[in-house]
Structures are given as structure tokens and as C-alpha cells.
Amino acid sequence: MTEFYLDGKTKLVILIGNPVEHSMSPSMHTAAFQAIGFNGIYIACKVEKGMLKEAVEGLKALNILGANVTIPHKVEIMKYIDEIDPKAQDIGAINTIVNKNEILYATNTDGIAAIKSMKEAKFPLNGSTAVILGAGGAARAIAFYLLDYIDHLYLTNRHREKAEHLKNELSKKFDVKITIFNFNKNELKSTLKKSDILINCTPVGMYPNVDQSPVPKECLNKNLNVFDAIYNPIETKLIKEAKSLGANAIGGLKMFLYQGAEAFKLWTGKDAPISIMEKIIIKNLKK
Ligand code: NAP
């Protein structure tokens, strides 16, 4: 690892969100910058809703290299950006900004990251039948990439109308069969029997509610490939139960890592030092 220093040429990357205090991105990205000898630093900035426009203008005014955007600004911030990647436009949310000579370019790296981690875990994406639980930011980001691969999507959400809305938007872009079902035990069980992939995009099972799962164990089966977007805990109850039945199951840690790695590449032009970033995340999660 090269020596860490700051000087007049140090590039700044920031996180725009609220709250940001628990973010792992500053330590992950700053360590990654150091590891490749990139003269940069990453700082988390708490931005109030009423100050979002000024914060984005500040990126240009202060010649900040780029930013990540997190809750609650991922949607609202889009109106202040100069160029948005078409897929992020479809998703309706961004998580990464790059300042290219005072032109702000934004994209959403969550969906690509989820697909990359599922491919790595050998999920049979092409021509498969997949189930997505949830219709929020993560579900949207994943669905707009997943539908490039699968033949049939089963979608469910606690508030059904939000799933219907997502189905309508996906149907405008993809010629893939999409079926909405009710988020209850009977329908989950029968739907999962005819599916290859299960993707949890709800926060059910996330720390501190680690004894919860969005899917009762009896609805799971060994033929499923299960992806849980949650990365804290590293293994949710859903993942543990799916594995205990013999299913192929992974949590959201790699998704988090790869969304950061995609952003890193956009800011620095260099491949991210993945294993260093992973070590930092795991260390943070174990704190
Ligand atoms: P979000 O936009 O707030 O959406 C949450 C979704 O979960 C909504 O569809 C919501 O349904 C549903 N939901 C919330 N509480 C529920 C409950 N008790 N029972 C059933 N459904 C419930 O959040 P998000 O950004 O999509 O995040 C969802 C999860 O993904 C979080 O755990 C987050 O940490 C994780 N995530 C991980 C990564 C990663 O890199 N690994 C990236 C993004 C998100 P309603 O519409 O009915 O409220």
C-alpha cells in the first residue's frame, strides 16, 4: 500500500445523503484510493432536503470529482444533474455522480452490481423465472437489469399498487411476462415452486431484526437460487434457511461491493481493488 498523503492536488469524492453517519463508503473508498495510489479522499456529507440543489451546485463550484447519493436523495437529485444514463432514467434513481469538467453525469450502479454477484454465484439467469419481493429502490434497480435475461418475472409488494406501477413501467421497456402475486404464505409457496430465482428487495431480516425473514422456510425449496439484497447481517435468516435446504443462496455484500467498484472506476478510470474494499466492509460490519 502506498503512503497516505493529502496535498493541493487531492481529489475529493463525497457521499450525499441523510443520515450518513453509519456509511461504510468513506473508509472503503479512501482505502481503495490509497491502495491504487490515487490521490483522493472520500467524505460523507449530511445534506438536508432543502439544500440539495446547493449541494449539487457545490460539486461544480468546488471542483469535486464525484459523489455517491443515498437515501433520501436518490430520486430528487436527478433534476439537478446534466446527463443521466438511460437505464438510471428508467430506474428513476441515481447513486453515482461524476463531474466531467463541470458537466455532471449520473448513473445507478446497484442493478449492474446485483447481476454481477448473481452471475458470479452461477444463478441461471438466461431464460429463467424469477421472483422479486419488494418494489422500492433496490427492486427497481435490479429489475431493469434482470429483465435483459429472464423470461418470466413474478413480482410482489406489501402495497400491491406499487408492484402494479413497476410492472407497467417494466412492460414499456421489456417484452417479458410479468405476473403480480399477493405477498402471503400460500402464494409465495406456489410461486416459488415454479421459479428458479428468488430476490429479496425488502428490508425484512436486516439488522437489528435479524430473526425475521420475508419468506417462511416452508415456502423455500432446494432448487431455488436465492439473492438477498441485505448485507447487514452478512447472512440473513432467509439465506441461512435457504442454504439449510440445499439451495444456492447469497447475501447483498457483493452487490454493495460491486456498486462501489463500478463508481470507483467511473471516478478514477481504474479497476477497484475489490479484496481491499471487501476487507474494510467486513471489518465495519463486525464492529
Ligand atoms: P425502499 O426503497 O424503502 O423499498 C423497500 C421495499 O420493501 C418496499 O417495496 C416496501 O414495501 C418493502 N417493505 C418495507 N418493509 C416491509 C415489511 N415489513 N414487509 C414487507 N415489505 C416491506 O428500500 P430499498 O432501497 O429498496 O432497500 C431495500 C433493501 O435492500 C434494504 O434492506 C437495503 O439495505 C437493501 N439494499 C442493498 C443494497 C446493496 O448494495 N446490497 C443496495 C440497495 C438496497 P412498500 O412499498 O409496501 O412500503
Counting the structural domains of the chain, the total is 2
Q: What's the pLDDT tens digit per position in 193-231?
A: 999 999 999 999 999 999 999 999 999 999 999 999 999
CATH code of the domain in which 160 resides: 3.40.50.720
- How close is the Cα of 114 to the center of ligand 1, in Å? 14
Evaluate whether residue 4 is within a structural domain: no
Residues 244 and 266 in one domain: no
Domain containing residue 83: 11-108+256-285
Residues 100 and 188 in one domain: no
Q: Give pLDDT, residue 286.
A: 78
Backbone φ and ψ for 182, nearest 5 degrees, come out as -85, 140
Evaluate whether residue 201 is within a structural domain: yes
Residues 91 and 165 in one domain: no
pTM of the model: 0.95
CATH code of the domain in which 99 resides: 3.40.50.10860
Residues 166 and 62 in one domain: no
- How close is the Cα of 256 to the center of ligand 1, in Å? 14
Q: How far is CA 131 from CA 51, 63, 202, 252, in A?
A: 38, 43, 12, 16
Give catalytic residues, as residue numbers: 74
Q: Report which ligand 1 atom has the smallest distance to the Cα of 71.
A: 25
Q: What's the pLDDT tens digit per position in 86-138?
A: 999 999 999 999 999 999 999 999 999 999 999 999 999 999 999 999 999 99
Evaluate whether residue 5 is within a structural domain: no
Residues 210 and 245 in one domain: yes
Please identify which residue in the block is written with the cell numbers 428508467. Answer: 90
Q: Report which ligand 1 atom has the smallest distance to the Cα of 134.
A: 9
> Residue 90 and residue 144: Cα distance in Å, rounded?
7
Q: What's the pLDDT tens digit per position in 238-270?
A: 999 999 999 999 999 999 999 999 999 999 999
Q: Which of 249, 251, 182, 178 is nearest to 217 (CA)?
A: 249
CA-nearest residue, atom 14 of ligand 1: 202
